[in-house]
Structure 1
Amino acid sequence: MHPAIQGLMTIVIGVGACVAYFYFSNQLVDRVLFPAKGPNAGRNINRANMVRPWLFLFPALFALTLYLAYPVVETLRLSMTDRDQGGAFVGLANYSQMFSEPKFWEAMTNNMLWLFVVPAMSTALGLIVAQLTDRLRWGNIAKSLIFMPMAISFVGASVIWKLVYDARPPDTEQIGVLNAMYVWFSGNDPQQWLTTPFWNNFFLMVVLIWIQTGFAMVILSAALRGIPEETIEAAIVDGAGPFQIFFKIKVPQIYPTIMVVWTTITLVVLKIFDIVFAMTNGQWGTQVLANYMFDKLFRANDWGVGSASAIVIMVLVTPILVWNVVQARREMR
């Protein structure tokens, strides 16, 4: 069957199933369980109104349980079993083995390095670009160009930047932009940027910063436009300069938005996998937690340590998710 026809059938069946579910669930509540007839009509109507929201929420709750809650519980169970012993319970042995491996601590160290650099740089650049482009006539065009990397997958962006970092043998023409510039200006031999320990991590971070700056710019630009003009005009009347207005008037007013952008990018960083996998595969000191988990699960075929590393990632992500939810609820009040 043609893929277009399959897609159309999926849409029709999916929408039809949703409509049928909500229609028949209403009929079940109103005509079978709590009919609005007889002496108990009023009480039945109240009961139906109490039950109906849960019926409508059931598909979403079922999906969340099946695709989120169950995998978490199963991953936790697998992290305490040993595949070589037929799935026998081994307690925290997998965690102990994981913590004893240098590759895990390399991954943890690199993840912390990513956490310090990428959210800060992406948010700062996004804020600067948002401020500058709002003052330009062609600002919307500039914003579109800067936001464009968000439309590229992480793997696609990795391929692009791998070509930027490409190194050819000396005395041959360099097709990598970075090496072409380096050889032109310095006269030295081209460098293997992705295999240089420690610094190669920063070359990988550039890819994610390049992608996430557009996201930060869009959100922060909307926040900057929401600042009341009266406060800026009052600051100008009081003799404040452009830098004072930006840092003492604008930034404090959009601080909650800055923190939301920061934490959102932090979540992306904690789960980073695609860029490292596509560009270095965790070699030359660039291992990260998600790539370490992948190696354990699908290369070493060790579900115990692989699941344990997945739990570590979840533990690191959870506090930030909770903080975001709390902040969102505060802003809604």
Structure 2
Amino acid sequence: MHPALQAGLTIVLGVGGCVGYFFFSNLILDRLIFPPKGKHIARNIRRANMLRPWLFLFPALAALAIYLAYPVFETLRLSVTERTVGGGSVFVGAANYQQMLAEQKFWEALRNNFVWLLVVPAASTAFGLLAAQLTDRLKWGNLAKSLIFMPMAISFVGAAVIWKLVYDARPEGTDQIGILNAIYIFFGGDAPQQWLTLPVWNNFFLMAVLVWIQTGFAMVILSAALRGIPEETVEAAIVDGAGPFQIFFKIKVPQIMGTIVVVWTTITIVVLKVFDIVFAMTNGQWETQVLANYMYDKLFRANDWGVGSASAMVIMALVTPILIWNIYNARKEMR
């Protein structure tokens, strides 16, 4: 089938199926299960109204159960089992976790993830807040915001390819197409550097890609928060003789601290799941391994579903508290 026809058919069937489900479920509920007639009209109407929201929520709840809850429990099951030669599985308890904890690559991945957690959310939020504050003062601020936000429209793999060209190194004596090496040679560098193979520093070069992407997200959210600050408080601070830095750090930042925390934690969740950038640029080589890439290596390269699933549970355990905290703060902001 032609892709365009297939897409059109999917849309028609999807929309038609949703409309049909809601129409017929209402019809069955009101006509067959709780018909508004007889001596129990009020009770039937009340029961139908109590059941109706759950009837409408059922497709979403079913999708969440199939695509979210089931994979979590299945991954947990796989993490405590071992594949047998015949294709079955046998319960091994915590053996997969013990094997994972004994591997140096796991600790390297965990260490790198914590470094990413320290650097990327802080840098992205700081640059986003700075961009939000400065662009609001410019006549062409909307254009500047569009340019800063543009990387958000690029996939992580696309961004990795772009930055891999930035870090590209050609043999000594040839023209450098990598911007970083071109600048390095221009300012008197000895020879082109293989930036992505430099221990420790290569992790920061990878982090720069995610900071570049997430700064736009942070800027948009924080810009909206800054615009929501009452002008009266800023004007009162100016009248009292406060300078620009005092107004920013003592008046504006405290009033949007809740939004800053939400942005910070949202980026933190992205960082804990980072995979594409590392996979496309270094594939975890040269001490750049992260947890998601380690999980991928175990699941699809080593074909070790037990240890791979165990590492997936570690990622989920790290993400869950931050996710709960993020939801809590987001709800508090909306009150």
TM-score, length-scaled by structure 1: 0.99
Q: What is the deviation of 1:27?
A: 0.6
> What is the distance in 1 between the residues matched to 2:83 and 2:334?
47
Distance 2:168 2:16 in 1: 51
Map 1:50-129 onto structure 2 (within 5 A): 50-84=50-84, 86-129=88-131
User: What residue is the counterpart of 1:271 in the other structure?
Assistant: 273
Question: Could you tell me which residue of structure 1 aligns to residue 145 of structure 2?
Answer: 143
Q: 2:161 aligns with which of 156, 159, 162?
A: 159
Distance of 2:6 and 2:225 partners within structure 1: 42
Kindly tell me the number of residue pairs found equivalent between the two proteins. 333
Which residue does the alignment assign to 2:176?
174
Deviation of the 1:127 alpha carbon: 0.2
- One-letter amino acid of the counterpart of residue 6, structure 1: Q
Query: Is 1:24 aligned to residue 28 of structure 2?
Result: no
Give SS of 2:310's match: helix
The whole-number CA distance in structure 2 between the counterparts of 1:74 and 1:107 is: 24
Deviations 1:109-139 (A, max 9, x none): 0000000000000000000010001000011
Cα deviation 1:37-62 (Å, max 9, x = unaligned): 01111110000000111100000000
SS of the residue aligned with 2:169? coil
Q: What is the root-mean-square deviation of aligned Cα atoms in Å?
A: 0.8
Between the aligned partners of 2:190 and 2:218, the Cα distance in structure 1 is 37
Structure 2 alignment gaps of length 5 or more: none
Q: What per-residue deviation string (whole Å, max 9, x for no partner) do you get for residues 58-88 of structure 1?
A: 0000000000000000000000001146310
Offset, 1:326: 1.6
- Does structure 1 retain, via aligned residues, the 8 Å contact 2:80–2:96? yes
- Paired position in structure 2 for 1:286: 288
Alignment of 1:290-309 (within 5 A): 290-309=292-311
Pick closer, same or farther for the CA change 1:214–1:332 going to 2, 3 Å.
Answer: closer
- Aligned sequence identity (%): 77
Q: Which residues of structure 1 form unaligned runs of 5+?
A: none
State the 1:325 CA deviation.
1.7
Q: In structure 2, how many angstroms separate the alpha carbons of the residues matched to 1:144 and 1:108?
A: 35
Q: Is the 8 A contact 2:258 2:333 kept in 1?
A: no
Note the alpha carbon deviations across 1:86-124, whole angstroms, 9 max, x for none: 310000000000000000000000000000000000000
Cα deviation for residue 331 of structure 1 reads 2.9
- 1:5: Cα distance to partner? 1.3
Checking the alignment, whether the CA contact within 8 Å between 2:129 and 2:219 is kept in structure 1 is: yes
Rounded Cα–Cα distance in structure 2 between residues aligned with 1:257 and 1:332: 10
Which digits, 9 at most, give the CA deviation of each residue in 1:258-307, with x for residues without a partner?
A: 00000000000000000000000000000000000000000000000000
**1:23 maps to amino acid:** F
- SS state at 1:166 partner: coil
Structure 1 residue runs of 4 or more that deviate by more than 4 Å after TM superposition: none
Mapped partners of 2:333, 2:170: distance in 1:
53
Please give the per-residue CA displacement for 1:239-273, whole angstroms capped at 9, x wherever unaligned.
Answer: 00000000000000000000000000000000000
State whether residues 132 and 222 of structure 2, in contact with CA within 8 Å, keep that contact through their aligned partners in structure 1.
Answer: yes
Secondary structure, in 3 states, of the residue corresponding to 2:163? Answer: helix
Rounded Cα–Cα distance in structure 2 between residues aligned with 1:328 and 1:216: 15
Secondary structure of residue in 2 paired with 1:39 = helix
Q: Which residue of 2 aligns with 1:215?
A: 217
C-alpha distance in structure 2 between counterparts of 1:331 and 1:133, whole Å: 24
User: For 1:178 and 1:328, how far apart are their aligned partners in 2?
Assistant: 39
Normalised by the size of structure 2, how large is the TM-score? 0.98
1:323 to 319, 322, 325: 325
Structure 1 range deviating more: 1-10 or 280-289: 1-10
Instruction: Tell me which moved more, 262-271 or 3-12.
Output: 3-12
- C-alpha separation in 2, matches of 1:143 and 1:61: 37
Report whether the alignment pairs 1:45 with 2:66.
Answer: no
Distance 2:269 2:281 in 1: 21
Matches of 1:245 and 1:8 in 2, distance apart?
54
